[in-house]
A = this chain, B = another copy of it.
Amino acid sequence: MKTDLNYEKNGGFVIAIAQNYRTREVLMVAHANQEAIDKSAELGLATFWSKSRNKLWTKGLTSGDTLRIVETRADCDRDAVLFLVEPQGSGGACHKTGWFSCFGYKL
C-alpha cells in the first residue's frame, strides 16, 4: 500500500494505535513498519511489528481476537497511524488481561 508514511523519523517504525470504531475506546498501541502496514491492508486486520519478538504480529491471529480494520488514518506528521477497528472473537483486545482495552490502569 502506497501510504507516504514517514518511517525514517522513528527508526523504521510508525506508532500504530487501535481504537474501537464504535465505542471509541483506545484498545492498544504498538509499532508498525512498512511490512506491518502492508499486511494490515492485505488482511484487513490490524498488524504490528513486535519489537520484543522481532516479528510481524497480526493481533489475535492465534486467539481469534483479531481487530478488523474499518478505517486507517495517519497523523499530520505521517509518523503515526490510527486503526479504527471492530474487535472480533471475544472482543478482548488485551492479551495480558483479557480486557477490552490494554489501558486498564489508572495512574
Q: What number of A residues sit within 8 Å (CB to CB) of B? A: 33
Asked whether any CB of chain B lies closer than 8 Å to the CB of A15, the reply is yes
Residues of B within 8 A of A15 (CB): 15, 29
Q: How many identical subunits does the complex contain?
A: 2
Report the bound CA distance from A40 to B106 in whole Å. 15
Asked whether any CB of chain B lies closer than 8 Å to the CB of A74, the reply is yes
1/0 contact string of A70-107 vs chain B (CB within 8 Å): 01111111101110000000000010110000111111
- Best-buried of A52, A80, A96, A104 by chain B (most CB within 10 Å): A80
Q: Which residues of A contact B (CB under 8 A)?
A: 1, 3, 9, 15, 17, 19, 23-26, 28-29, 52, 71-78, 80-82, 94, 96-97, 102-107
Interface pairs A-B: 7 shortest CB-CB: A24-B24, A76-B96, A75-B102, A72-B107, A74-B105, A73-B103, A82-B103
What are 25 A-B contacts defined by CB distance under 8 Å?
A3-B107, A15-B29, A17-B29, A19-B26, A26-B26, A26-B82, A28-B75, A29-B29, A72-B106, A72-B107, A73-B103, A73-B104, A73-B105, A73-B106, A74-B103, A74-B105, A74-B107, A75-B102, A75-B103, A75-B104, A76-B96, A76-B97, A76-B104, A77-B96, A81-B107
